[in-house]
Amino acid sequence: MRDRVFESIRTEIERDARPVQPLRPPWKRALLVGVSCLVLCVLILVTAGLRTDYRNLQSVLWSVTLLQLAAAYSLAAPALRLVIPGRLPAAGLLAWLAAAGTAVQLVASALIFRHSPSFPPLGKELTTWVACLSVTVCLGILPAAAAFVLGSRGLPVRARLFGLVCGLSAGLGAEAAWRLHCPISDPLHTTAHTSAIVFLGIMALIAGAVWERRHVRRLWPRTVS
C-alpha cells in the first residue's frame, strides 16, 4: 500500500497497459503538412493548369511558390510542438515566424505584380475576389486537416494557438498552390488570397478552442456547464 492516489491510478494503468509508439519529432511530423501542400500544387497544375501569364514569370513563380511552401512548413513545425507538454516553443518565436510568413506573402504578391501586372476583367472585380477567397479557403482545408490529425495525437496544451498557427500555415500552402493558376496579380485582388489565409487562421483557432473544450469536458465531465 502506498497512498490513495497511487492505488487508484495503478488499477487504471493495469487496465490499459498496451505499448505505445512515441510521437516522432515535430519537424518530421510537419513534413506531412508540407507534403499535403505539395499535393495541392500538383492537383491545381493537373486540374486547372498553369497561369496564363506564366511566360512573364517562369522562375519567379517557382521561387515564390517554394518560398511560400517553406514558410508554411516553418510555421507547421513549431505549431506541432504546441501539443507536446514541456516542449512548447517561445511565443516570441511564433510571432517572429508569423511576421516572416506575412512578409513572404507580401513580397510574393509584389514580385509577381512587378513581373506580370494583370487585373481582373472590368465589372467582375468582386466576383473574382470572392471566387479566389473561396477556392483558397477550400484548398486550405486539406493541409489544415492534416495538421489537426497530427496535433490530435498530442495534448491540447495550447490548443487555440496551435489552431491559429496551423491555419495560417495551411493558408500559406493553399495560397501558394492557387497562385500557380490564378493569373490576376492586381494588389487589390491579392487581398482576397491574403484574406483567405487570415480566414483559415481564425477558423482553425475556433477549431482549436472546440478541441480544448471537448478535452476539458472529458477530464471533468460533471463540472463543466
**Spatial distance between the Cα atoms of 176 and 145, rounded to a whole number of angstroms:** 17
**Spatial distance between the Cα atoms of 34 and 76, rounded to a whole number of angstroms:** 8
The window from 51-59, 66-74, 78-86, 110-118 that contacts other proteins (CB under 8 A) reads 78-86
Q: Which of 1, 18, 47, 122 binds other proteins (CB under 8 A)?
A: 18
Q: Which of 35, 42, 45, 91 binds other proteins (CB under 8 A)?
A: 91
Phi, psi of 153 (to 5 degrees): -80, -15
**Spatial distance between the Cα atoms of 96 and 111, rounded to a whole number of angstroms:** 22
Can residue 20 be called a binding residue for other proteins (CB under 8 A)?
Answer: yes
Can residue 1 be called a binding residue for other proteins (CB under 8 A)?
Answer: no
CB of 24 to other proteins, least distance (A): 8
Can residue 31 be called a binding residue for other proteins (CB under 8 A)?
Answer: no
Q: Which of 46, 90 has the CB closer to other proteins?
A: 90
- Structural element, H or E, at residue 211: helix 187-219
Can residue 121 be called a binding residue for other proteins (CB under 8 A)?
Answer: no
Which cell goes with 204? 482553425
Which cell goes with 65? 511558390
Closest CA to 72 of 47, 41, 111: 41
Can residue 163 be called a binding residue for other proteins (CB under 8 A)?
Answer: no
Give contact residues for other proteins (rule: CB under 8 A): 2, 4-6, 8-10, 12-14, 16-23, 25, 82-92, 153-158, 215-216, 219-220, 223-225
